[in-house]
Amino acid sequence: MLFAMAYININNDLPGIVGLMHYRPETAKPLNELAEILLRGPSTLSSAEREMIASHVSYRNECHFCHSCHGAAAAHHIDGDLDLLRDIKNNFKTTSISAKLRALLNIAEKVQILGNKVTPDDIDAAKDEGATDLEIHDTVLIAAAFCMYNRYVDGLGTWAPVEDAAYDETGRMLAHEGYGNSITD
């Protein structure tokens, strides 16, 4: 597999945020802790739904590495079918998701553009579909955090495998083992 090195010397050839976390483990710890809380911590939204939000925002930010890792994690929370990665790119046309998740994804899309694009009508629409204040809060924070993660990964020019199958093991690990410090071990 051919890949380009990051814009700076990170002293490893690991892809995406993994290479950056190995380069700077002291920043990896809080970044992993935030991802663990947002994507796997206690919530009325399933981990699959939260990973879908992260993957969708990452796709819209054109961050291939994060979109693929988190889409694969969402797939492993559901059934392991990586076709979900393609469906996220197609705005969830074939994945059976609730009206509530669609309304939350709408909010996440607006946060991805600019936080002040979210309107009271967007919030009301999500609430009308059964979203709680905490679910709306967490959706906005996931979207905002993944804008940061995506910009970190792509702003330093890290490399990412192209093929979806390359993300299968990472998705399985994230779904079943989480975002602990093991990524930097």
| Rounded-to-integer distance, Cα 134 and Cα 88, Å | 24
30-71: pLDDT as tens digits: 999 999 999 999 999 999 999 999 999 999 999 999 999 999
| Rounded-to-integer distance, Cα 17 and Cα 22, Å | 9
Q: What is the mean pLDDT of residues 82-87?
A: 91
What is the per-residue pLDDT for 180? 81
Domain limits of the chain?
Answer: 47-176
- The answer on pLDDT for 77 being more than 50 is yes
Return the biggest CA–CA distance within the chain: 50
- Which tokens hold the place of 45? 């939204």
106-119: pLDDT as tens digits: 999 999 999 999 99
- Give the 3-state secondary structure of residue 134: helix
Long-range CB contact pairs, 27-35, < 8 A, 24+: 28/181, 28/183, 28/184, 29/181, 29/184, 31/149, 32/179, 32/180, 32/181, 32/183, 32/184, 33/179, 34/145, 35/145, 35/149, 35/179
Is pTM beyond 0.75 here? yes
- The answer on pLDDT for 2 being more than 80 is no
pLDDT confidence bin for 18, thresholds 50/70/90: very high
Which residue, among 143, 115, 113, 140, has the nearest Cα to 126 in the 3D structure? 140
Q: What is the mean pLDDT of residues 77-95?
A: 90
- CATH number of the domain located at residue range(s) 47-176 in this protein: 1.20.1290.10
